[in-house]
């Protein structure tokens, strides 16, 4: 084994190295500094943030912060957005109705019979045509209005005082669409009407289900009876086969009931489709029955139209009932009736 010789020079070098190490340790303790290696590691650790960490840091908003951000809307902004001024809503509705073409209803004085004409802009609808000689009355009125055609001809049922003048009308002016109940009439006037349609090559629409139509700016709903089954004991069965027509125009509503009687009125009320209206055409020329009074009470019309005559006026009990309920009664025995609707208001003239 080789022995190392320790000399005075070696001892001096070792002492010097130990002294230098002690100085470095003391200096580090006094300044609180890390060693150069530790400083480099700390700098790398603090400076080197990955792009993913930066994105996560900027995008990860706490739920509380999100809630605060979404919920903290200025009260003034909430008030402006949530509280639409009633005046603004009223103005919008008024502008909507003011842009409508007026709807005019003309109820012709043709005795104890129904003959009515609705016009809205250029659109024309005729509801019933009275008796045989009344067809000319309808044509004369259409000529006065400058009508070139009839968009819809609706025959409520086939009694002679409703269908009688229909053949004259279809022969005297073009008609786009003909609506009538889905049963066969038995009277002479009905047969003359059907023959006229055959000669003209026109096919009527038999209404067996609720039908919705448009007449200019007005909406029209046509309701047939629940059944067209003919009872064995009722000679006037076709009155209850009448088509019921509702015309909605802006805020105005007009209802035409043909000649419906007690049974059909009760069925209609039970069906739950009866609504308030402004104008009600009283059925069957003003004959009174208890379901009629109930119907008027539910519908609360402002005006009631009765197609009657001096010779065959409405029953006094019907007129009294209407007056007691605050309904203005308009009877054709006193002359033609003109009703003009603008979508909000109604004007009546005689």
Contact 301, 329 (CB under 8 A): no
| Per-residue pLDDT tens over the stretch 163-173 | 999 999 999 99
For the chain, the structural domain boundaries read 97-349
Is the model more confident about 227 or about 31? 227
pLDDT at res. 99:
80
Is the model more confident about 15 or about 312? 312
Flag the least confident range among 29-43, 236-250, 328-342: 29-43
Distance CA 285, CA 131 (A): 14
| Per-residue pLDDT tens over the stretch 69-123 | 444 444 444 444 444 455 555 555 555 666 889 999 999 999 999 999 999 999 9
Q: Is the pLDDT of residue 65 over 90?
A: no
pLDDT at res. 33:
42
Contact 183, 157 (CB under 8 A): no
pTM: 0.74
Q: Which CATH superfamily is domain 97-349 in?
A: Ribonuclease Z/Hydroxyacylglutathione hydrolase-like (3.60.15.10)
pLDDT at res. 294:
97
pLDDT at res. 6:
45
Q: Is the pLDDT of residue 13 over 70?
A: no
pLDDT at res. 178:
98
Report the share of the chain in percent with pLDDT over 70.
71
Q: Is 149 left (phi over 0), alpha (psi -120 to 50) or beta?
A: beta
Flag the least confident range among 4-13, 158-167, 272-281: 4-13
pLDDT at res. 4:
45
pLDDT at res. 211:
98
Q: Is the pLDDT of residue 302 over 70?
A: yes
Report the share of the chain in percent with pLDDT over 90.
69
Q: Is 201 left (phi over 0), alpha (psi -120 to 50) or beta?
A: left
**Token representation of residue 173:** 């002016």
């Amino acid at each position: 084994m080789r022995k190392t010789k320790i000399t005075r020079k070696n001892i001096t070098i070792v002492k010097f190295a130990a002294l230098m190490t002690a100085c470095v340790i003391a200096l580090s303790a006094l300044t609180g500094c890390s060693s150069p290696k530790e400083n480099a590691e700390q700098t790398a650790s603090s400076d080197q943030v990955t792009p993913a960490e930066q994105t996560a840091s900027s995008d990860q908003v706490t739920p509380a912060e999100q809630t605060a951000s979404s919920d903290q809307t200025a009260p003034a902004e909430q008030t402006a957005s949530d509280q639409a001024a009633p005046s603004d809503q009223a103005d919008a509705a008024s502008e909507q109705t003011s842009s409508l073409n007026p709807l005019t209803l003309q109820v012709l004085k043709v005795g104890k019979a129904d003959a009515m004409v609705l016009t809205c802009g250029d659109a024309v609808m005729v509801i019933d045509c009275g008796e045989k000689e009344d067809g000319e009355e309808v044509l004369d009125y259409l000529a006065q209005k400058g009508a070139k055609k009839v968009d819809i001809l609706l025959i409520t049922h086939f009694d002679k005082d409703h269908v009688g003048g229909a053949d004259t009308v279809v022969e005297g002016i073009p008609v786009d669409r003909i609506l009538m109940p889905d049963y066969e009439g038995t009277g002479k006037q009905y047969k003359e009407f059907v023959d006229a349609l055959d000669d003209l090559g026109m096919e009527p629409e038999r209404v067996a289900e609720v039908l919705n139509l448009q007449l200019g700016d007005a909406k029209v709903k046509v309701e047939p009876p629940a059944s067209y089954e003919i009872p064995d004991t009722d000679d006037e069965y076709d009155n209850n086969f009448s088509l019921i027509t509702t015309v909605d125009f802006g805020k105005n509503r007009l209802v035409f009931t043909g000649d419906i009687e007690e049974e059909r009125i009760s069925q209609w009320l039970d069906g739950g489709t009866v609504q308030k209206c402004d104008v009600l055409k009283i059925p069957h020329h003003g004959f009174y029955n208890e379901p009629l009074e109930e119907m008027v009470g539910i519908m609360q019309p402002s005006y009631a139209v009765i197609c009657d005559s001096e010779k065959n006026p409405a029953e006094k009990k019907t007129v009294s009932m209407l007056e007691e309920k605050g309904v203005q009664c308009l009877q054709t025995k006193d002359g033609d009736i003109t009703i003009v609707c603008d979508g909000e208001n109604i004007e009546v003239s005689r």
